[in-house]
Amino acid sequence: MVFSSLLFVFLFLPLNLLFYVFAKDIRTKNRVMLIFSLVFYAWGEPVYLLLLLGMTLADWLLARYIGKQAPKSGAAKLGVFAACAVNLGLLGVFKYGTFFMENTHALFGFPKEVIQIALPIGISFYTFQLLSYVVDVYRCEVPAQRRFSTLLLYVSLFHQCIAGPIVRYQDVENELMHRSVNFRELAQGITRFTVGLGKKALLANACGSLADSFIMSDATAAGADAMSILVNRPALALWIGMLAYMLQIYLDFSAYSDMAIGMGLMIGFHYKENFDYPYMSRSVTEFWRRWHISLSSFFRDYVYIPLGGSRCSKARNVWNLLVVWLLTGFWHGASWNFVLWGLYFFVFLLIERFGLLDCLKRGPSILSRFYLLLVVFFGWVLFKFRNLSLVGATLAGMFGLNGNGFTNFEVTTVLKSNVFILLVAIVACTPLVKKVGAKLAAGSLGGVGTAVYKGAVVVVPVAMLLLSTMALVGDSYNPFLYFQF
């Protein structure tokens, strides 16, 4: 079940809110949320619900053990080590087991038969949440949670369990047992959810469909004919296809975060922002402060800083960055293209750290923004194709090396039919609408502007819901890219 499905929007979520409203106290409300969250997770993969329960139980017990030890003692460190072994061990088996077997089979002929291990939905996200919780208990930043059901609610809450944002326990610790909702935040939550739904159903899906038609779908990319498809594409098809993919991956993932944040507000949870218009950045360094903020901050606080961060020698700092970006790439998927994608950004971050960043800050903003968009654009080429030969074919085709010319009638026709949706998607990646809304709300544009804003507050959520419903009815194309991570 995904947020952008009619079943979720018109049945699951309304039922959840109905039961939640009539629950008499916070403990009953938490039981409602826990039951709905476990049902939501089990909807697609009931077997792997046992894995979620088992990992949460192990970390609950280990955190209770750590909390009883002297702060940062040897016994407490042993508890953290055990938690890392359990969580990372299971993540390694389910997410990377097949990858390692494929590589050892290719190199050494062992094992004779590679086992295809299914990837449990959301395991990368809830594993990191559990790890952050245990480490924070060890650091004495939060007390160990006494109730298993409360910790399970934190981990499994359907708002963010399967695709983030990665919510730290310390950020919601108080709200797990003490939260309330006022009308203003309820309205904000509904608006945020419906805008996210519209961003996904109206824009991300349209961009994804265009990317698939100009390049190929993920299913095609895994097939034997992928290379023959790519080498026969004219250059413009590849450029526009990758632009559409670039827009899709942001709109898709940020829309999911919008909907999660909105649903949290509806019941009194305040999740932190996960995206801050990253394509408006002026450097790769800034981009990674704005893109998937919860993941970037996790690696910063639980890997980079413990390794020494930047408060060390230059050589050590380079090593720390290398480790973080190898892990960042590998977190996204068990494939060499993701590792190379992480190294790709590591190189640019390193170049910026040792001189380029100062030049970008002093230079014209239009040049620095163009530089960032170009770097990220080609990074998404590496990100999209697990088969590295397809990366090479795409890059060659973009610069006319495949011998198919710049464009053809079919590409031009499809582009003309989709130019409006591309322009709207590009605007949606900027803070333009948000800034206009803020000016209207502040009365900066006069009384008419204030009246327009008050009307939009009512009309926009309804319009987004209706338009999204129309887009989703009978449309089988509704992928969600980050389920694979």
In this predicted structure, which of 20-29, 74-83, 162-171, 418-427 has the lowest mean pLDDT? 162-171
Helices (H) and strands (E) in the chain, counts: 25, 0
In this predicted structure, which of 54-63, 68-77, 156-165, 221-230 has the lowest mean pLDDT? 221-230
The CB density around residue 119, as the number of other CB atoms within 10 Å, is 19
- Name the DSSP class of 275: -
- 475 has pLDDT over 80: no
- 224 has pLDDT over 60: no
- Per-residue model confidence (pLDDT) at position 481: 67
Contact between residue 241 and residue 210 where contact means Cβ atoms under 8 Å apart: yes
pTM of the full structure: 0.93
The CB density around residue 310, as the number of other CB atoms within 10 Å, is 12
- 262 has pLDDT over 80: yes
Residues annotated as catalytic are 332
Which pLDDT tens digit goes with each residue over 324-375? Answer: 999 999 999 899 999 999 999 999 999 999 889 889 889 899 999 999 999 9
Q: Tell me the average pLDDT across 445-470.
A: 86
- 217 has pLDDT over 90: no
**196: CB partners within 8 A, 6+ apart:** 3, 254, 255, 256, 257, 258, 259, 261, 262
- Per-residue model confidence (pLDDT) at position 14: 97
- 484 has pLDDT over 70: no
Query: Rounded to an integer, what distance in angstroms lies between the CA atom of residue 290 and that of residue 273?
Result: 9
| CA distances to 98, 121, 398 from 101, in Å | 5, 21, 34
Q: Tell me the average pLDDT across 75-88.
A: 96
Which pLDDT tens digit goes with each residue over 268-297? Answer: 999 999 999 999 999 999 999 999 999 999
DSSP code string of 424-435 = HHHHHTSSHHHH
Band (pLDDT 50/70/90 cuts) for residue 482 is: low
CA 140 centroid distance within chain: 29
The CB density around residue 360, as the number of other CB atoms within 10 Å, is 22
- 227 has pLDDT over 70: yes
Give 177-209 as a 3 state SS string.
Answer: HCCCCCHHHHHHHHHHHHHHHHHHHHHHHHHHH
Query: Rounded to an integer, what distance in angstroms lies between the CA atom of residue 145 and that of residue 177?
Result: 11
Amino acid at 213: S
Query: Rounded to an integer, what distance in angstroms lies between the CA atom of residue 379 and that of residue 345?
Result: 8
Band (pLDDT 50/70/90 cuts) for residue 108 is: confident
Band (pLDDT 50/70/90 cuts) for residue 232 is: confident
In this predicted structure, which of 66-75, 130-139, 306-315, 322-331 has the lowest mean pLDDT? 306-315
Q: Tell me the average pLDDT across 119-136.
A: 94
Length of the chain: 485
CA 157 centroid distance within chain: 16
- Per-residue model confidence (pLDDT) at position 85: 97
